[in-house]
Structure 1
């Protein structure tokens, strides 16, 4: 059998199971075994999604990053079946001895005790309320949420405590929870951003194979906005020479759907994400690979990634400045980001525990 070259697998973003930085060994394809699978099935078997229940001791993650508009976040899942080849969260799977490649999108972990832990953490006398962001690492509304409902259970607790929440997702499944979000939004407690990377169904299918189509995401924006929920669009990530030409069109489509605000993030390639994304480029857009990487180097001071605070989300240089100006001009023309009142903290309360005797006052 000739030398093996990894091939894209239907419904998956990563092409292979790239080794993590902690591995003391490397993976090699069993060519004889693969040949047998091909003879038997006619194609390489697609890895199935598995979900492992993870019991965690805390659910709120805190950060002090100057690049982020929040200092608290919740992630109810590890790994993400959306399979975005560029996902900056992929390297987190390496901490569990798994590959940031195919393992990240097929070997998922769920935290069913998330709501219970959240209720305990919010009830502590020492707790000081600040906006909790959901969807900062892996998507809370990825496909398994339809069955497990962990994101919804967290929202139910936040509503119970009148606690502000900001959600970012690629999925129109968030509209399932419009009932909760609309009530919270009426009190100034909720905001939702839906991420749109490209309006091209073809690019989206290759780039984010199990995420909703662009049209469904725009419909999600429409439904949320119509329900009175402050809704925005994240043009993220912007990929030079692949999706950067769509910035204005994405903003126009989102504004037409009812988005009131917008943000963007430039492509980031930290740690193992770099090789995963480059391998994806080689498979799907080999003719653009050199141009894409050249522009990334212009954005990242001659490198393919820059983790410097203040620069990692936007990049530097002429190309980065041009993108920022285009984005700002489009937002002004479309009336986006005119007003974004802060989510309210003054309504936070710890609900009184039910008592069979009732209250004396």
Structure 2
């Protein structure tokens, strides 16, 4: 006898009450969203299938989380900061090719943009990308060789020139000038924040918009600007094929990924200050997010495979710029 569920699943009736264990591995700043999303999914799945889902969760830097999964962390579902990180899992044989097409919206589950965090009152009047190359401005951003968030920042810097009529040569010159204004390149976004906030270094910190809005919602005083020319930080979700097949958790894992695109889950992302990808939910929360009139994305660079090789691989443009700056 098979039980057909509202999530499009068919299961043996005797399996209804057998708990399903799922491990979600995600990048650090999503934790506040999943604290709300997971209980809602568990309740819905129980109602529609009769099964209980028990979650284990792991949060950390996207790059370190990716390496942990490759090294054996038994993730059923990953939500990472970069499509390039999921591509690494694919290269390691953990995720099957075509993972982007097996979830809605090419697997992009939520978005953010780049924010400029400044000192109280913004004394240096830093509001746009070109302000970052003014004499005496100190910029804090992490190292894109070790930080996923810093890769978004780097692409935002580069793209800001292309979006305003410049070419690659001008973009390279601009990014080189910004990096000359960076006194240190911390290893990840959290360390970059500590350098800016706790150590008091720098005039401006490049960070995720959602982190800034979340801090503000908790009553913290944050001076920040969302540049109207910006870059869409598109973060993907994927089922880890090798693990779910070994764990017998594929159906629950796929149902969870599908659920993340529902209005209910998208609303919880929005409440955690991520820009939802569901158009209806995005409209409902539009007043929460500063307007961005000129928004680019990774597709303008040919996707992550192309961008990774061009900018961040050994001897790529980032390495070339740093080497030239030292001369």
- TM (norm. structure 1) is 0.27
Greater fraction of residues in helix = 2
Higher relative contact order (CA 8 A, sep 6+): 2
